[in-house]
Amino acid sequence: MDSRLHADITARLDRDFAFKEKGDWLRGGRCPSCDGKSVWTHAEAPWVLRCEKLNKCGQEWHVKELYPDLFNKWSERHPATDTNPHAAADAYLRDGRGFDLERIKGWYTQEHYFDRELNLGSATVRFPVANAYWERIIDEPHRFGDKKAHFKKGIHYGHTWWVPPGLDLTTAKEVWIVEGIFDAIALLHHDVVAVSALTCNNDCAHSIEALGQACDAAGADRPTLVWALDGDKAGRSYTRKYVKACRDAGWDVTAAQIPQQGRSKLDWNDMHQRGRLEAKNLTDYRYHGALLVAESAGTKAVLMYQHGNGSSFPFEFDSRLWWFKLDLDKYHKAAEAIADAEPDLKKDEVRERALLEAHAVTEIATCYPQALYYQRQEITDESWYYFRVSFPHGPQPVKNTFTAAQIAGAAEFKKRLLAMASGAIYTGSTGMLDALMKRQLSRLPVVETVDFIGYSKGEKAHPHRAYIFGDIAVHAGRWVALNDEDYFELGKLSIKSLNQSVGLHINTKAADFRTDWVRDLYTAFGAKGIVALAFWFGVLFAEQIREQDKSFPFLEVVGEPNAGKTTLIEFLWKLCGRMDYEGFDPSKSTLAARSRNFAQVSNLPVVLIEGDRTDDMKKGGFDWDELKTAYNGRASRARGVKNSGNETYEPPFRGAIVISQNAPVVASEAVMSRICHLYFDRAGQSPDTRRAAEALERMPIEEVSGFILRATQAEARVLQLVRDLAPGMERVLAGRPEIRSQRVIKNHGQLMALVTALADVFPAINPQMVDAAHDQCIAMAIERQESLNADHVFVQEFWEIFEYLEGEADPGPEDPIGVPSVLNHSRDPQLIAISLPHFEQVCADRKLRHAPLPELKRVLGTSRRHKFLGVRTVNSIINARFNDRSVITGSDQRRPVSVKCWVFQV
């Protein structure tokens, strides 16, 4: 091993594994997979690390998987010198691929590749292919996406293979046909004659035909062809196709396959580097290849029987489920008969033929169910087995869940299978099913689930720290697509979302994303548009910000009808990949529906919109105070869960509140102080702003949904900026004498920091917009403080009506008893006592408009003009005088003297 690489790797291993050195070996390292002190490797050449708990774990890693950054910058680590202009290529092939350079000397050159589109360059390792070349980028190849290995443009290599220089195929007993050049070279190190098809869908027909002719001309036996393509879906399906074609053309042909376990595909080069190309390994790969290309269910079953699978077992053939059973009596009789009839046959051949006669193979399902993984919902204690069911012809495989009960018995299994896919019929017994499940469920991977869409921080001991969106996830600055089995592989974490109700359509194509809408947003909504965008952007980090700062503010978007609120919010949703959606009306939703809406997203906005105001005011089903706890990320309300136990599931609030309505929120000071308030009117509207708003409405979601991807990929940077900048922004706000509320300062400080972070990630937001948005935030903080100082408009209106009516209270000369007050029932001149039903009645009599009682009741307690003391039963002076008057006038009308009143200080 290169001494510098050895030093770098050893330093990392010391840090991560706590090995103990024993002779030439490092032992007792902490296993990242099973947590045992069971990992070992060679001290001088620590290329491969293995867990010694073979039955329980048995994981192994090539050191380049553990520390990819040490195997990434070959030109930097090995600059070209006068004596060796190919130093980087040499090091890459030696240390990165495990090749013996003596063996491949002169086969390749080191070249340079520059990509104009990406404006990036890298050294390459180049191999001549078909009068052109193929080359592999070796310096941080991930930067080049799927161009990391490529051919010279315009190359024609179809139907031919790449032969290692100097190799004579006509003298070989076997020729292995593999996908990559590195695969072929790897096998050559183990005396396997191998050629590269270059891609998995190249049938190499011309080369094969030429080889046949060359053998015939030389009078040599034709070699056996061994198709040894990769173990992925494409490689397996082409292997079957090409083996059949070669068989039809008269070749001796078979296949070899590396059985794939776990998530990352392993190829021949990987096996070479892991020391897994010994004779016994190759035998195993041939066995798996033979299974893949077996021509009949019977042949396949016999292969499996001979491999030690027992005398009865289930197996797959042609996407159907079969049962093999050996009849031992019949077998012995057949063997005797064959040996008698043909005494010259070898023992092996007798056994083979007897086997074919004495076994029974029966189809037990018209499809093939394959358990993929176990998924569990911790909170509700529910679990499922996730299966893929494939079919011989026609329909695509179906993926769905089975409960434990549904795989425990043949009858239930049959029913569930039929329900999952039409025509999927299981005809086996429970015993056969047990045998199938025993094979499939042992060491079945576990996939964690979340029941929401968005950011999952996970548990403290077991963090996720990943964004789980519809078909992509973002983790540590990178995005990952959903795999074929419908979950995300994020490092060691396997995770999926069970939420079906929030659909996000995020376009991951970088070329489609544009930012010219920033200009339209600014034209249509000015600095307020940028502030709204910054808040929306911040929502994508609400969980982390709450973790860091304990709270995340609410945003209230208020404005006149047609001021563009819906346009704005629907556009902001489009940036996150959500189409034609604004929010939901909490006052029209049941408590259960509200809880669902609050719980189904994380680090995404929960937008509360108002429907028809006048209708709802009377219903008053929703109390803004329900939201208070959402500010700190706690549950808004307990939610009952359907499970067998009595526990109540209280999901924490993981989203962020956005309120959109025509009138400002009516709520207690506690709620009001949590809100950043944006008011939109039509005053500034012009043909220009309308055009800009229309442009936002028309903007295709495919061209803007990259926003959420870019934002979440910049997670670390954004959080750093917010952490660094928010305190300074808060000091700016605290410097304004008119702002006193700490909460107002904190909310708007966070918002200002988010404006700066937003512009950092999206430079289309220019410094002028940033300044305007910052000024807007300061103005909003001042306004918010003013609204906290003042009584709510409904309360102001209430006292205005009170004072107006008090003016009427002056008793006229014609009324000897007189009325001291129209509304105030109090006998104590220091108090004001008002009965709200009475207030409503008086207003109705005089045709005075006022806020509806339910709304009024919610805010009246916050009154500042007259301090609220409580709701009390009062001895009413108004009703007492009324009764007096009735006595005088001889009327028999009486009113109760005890009245329930809202009592205030004068």
**Interacting residue ranges for Zn ion, rule: CB under 5 A:** 31, 33-34, 51, 57
Write the CB contacts of 491 (distance below 8 Å, at least 6 apart in sequence). 475, 476
Distance in angstroms (rounded) separating the CA atoms of residues 25 and 17: 13
Q: Which ranges constitute the DSSP H helices of 384-464?
A: 410-420, 430-441
Minimum CB separation from Zn ion for residue 310, in Å? Answer: 28
The smaller minimum CB distance to Zn ion, of residues 51 and 609, is found at 51
User: What is the nearest approach in angstroms of Zn ion to the Cβ of residue 6?
Assistant: 24
Q: Using the minimum distance from each CB to Zn ion, give the nearer residue, 57 or 350.
A: 57
Q: How far is the CB of 265 from Zn ion (least distance, A)?
A: 21
SS3 content of the chain, % helix, strand, coil (to 5): 40, 20, 35
Nearer to Zn ion, 51 or 834 (CB): 51
Is the CB of 51 or the CB of 533 nearer to Zn ion? 51
Nearest Cα residue to 367 out of 308, 324, 413: 413
Q: Least separation, in Å, of the C-beta of 492 and Zn ion?
A: 12
- Residue 57 vs 901, nearer CB to Zn ion: 57
CB nearer to Zn ion: pick between 53 and 189: 53
Smallest distance from Zn ion to CB 56, Å: 7
Taken as a whole, the chain contains a residue count of 906
By beta-carbon proximity to Zn ion, the closer residue of 34 and 764 is 34
Q: Which is nearer to Zn ion, 18 or 419 (CB)?
A: 18
Q: Which is nearer to Zn ion, 59 or 281 (CB)?
A: 59
Measured between alpha carbons, how far is 684 from 527 in angstroms, rounded to an integer? 12
Residue with tokens 């495919």: 702
DSSP states along 114-146: EETTTTEEEEEEEEEETTEEEEEE-BSGGGGGG
Whichever of 456 and 494 has its CB closer to Zn ion, that residue is: 494
Residue 492 token pair: 């060691």
Amino acid at 122: S
Least distance to Zn ion, CB of residue 54, Å:
9
d(CA 202, CA 462): 45
- Looking at the Cβ atoms of 38 and 207, the one nearer to Zn ion is 38
CA distance 212 to 758: 65
Q: How far is the CB of 99 from Zn ion (least distance, A)?
A: 29
- DSSP of 171-219: G-SEEEEESSHHHHHHHHTTT--EEE-SSTT---HHHHHHHHHHHHHHT
Classify 640 as helix, strand or coil.
strand
Minimum separation from the CB atom of position 37 to Zn ion (A): 10
**Smallest gap from residue 466 Cβ to Zn ion (A):** 24
What does the buried/exposed string (b/e) look like for 738-750 if buried means 16 or more CB atoms within 10 Å of the residue's CB? ebebebbbbbbbb
How far is Cα 579 from Cα 529, in angstroms, rounded to an integer? 19
Rounded to the nearest whole angstrom, what is the least distance from the CB of residue 325 to Zn ion in the complex?
Answer: 37
Q: Which two tokens stand for residue 829?
A: 């001149």
Number of H-type helices and E-type strands within the chain: 31, 36
DSSP conformational letter for 596: H
Give CA–CA dist 889/887, Å, rounded: 6
CB of 25 to Zn ion, least distance (A): 17
Q: How far is CA 502 from CA 466, 596, 601, 608, 861, in A?
A: 17, 11, 8, 16, 38
Minimum distance from residue 190 beta carbon to Zn ion (Å) = 27
- 596 in Cβ contact with 725 (< 8 Å): no
| Shortest separation between residue 30's beta carbon and Zn ion, angstroms | 9
Question: Closest Cα partner for 424 from 362, 364, 384?
Answer: 364
- Dihedral sign for Cα atoms in the order 11, 14, 20, 25: negative
Coil vs helix vs strand at 867:
coil
Cβ atoms within 10 Å, residue 636 = 22
Residue 534 DSSP label: H
Structure tokens that stand for 19 in this block: 């090995």
Pick between residue 31 and residue 123 the one whose CB is nearest to Zn ion. Answer: 31
Closest to Zn ion by CB, 65 vs 681, is 65
> How far is Cα of residue 183 from the mean position of the Cα atoms in its chain?
33
Q: Pick between residue 34 and residue 337 the one whose CB is nearest to Zn ion.
A: 34
Closest CA to 499 of 436, 449, 429: 449
Distance CA 267, CA 259 (A): 10
Q: Which is nearer to Zn ion, 54 or 218 (CB)?
A: 54
Structure tokens at 114: 């520059």
Q: How far is the CB of 61 from Zn ion (least distance, A)?
A: 10
- As measured in angstroms, the least distance from the Cβ of 35 to Zn ion is 7
For tokens 């290309």, the residue is: 293
CB of 36 to Zn ion, least distance (A): 5
Considering the complex, state which of residue 33 and residue 380 has its C-beta at the smaller distance from Zn ion. 33
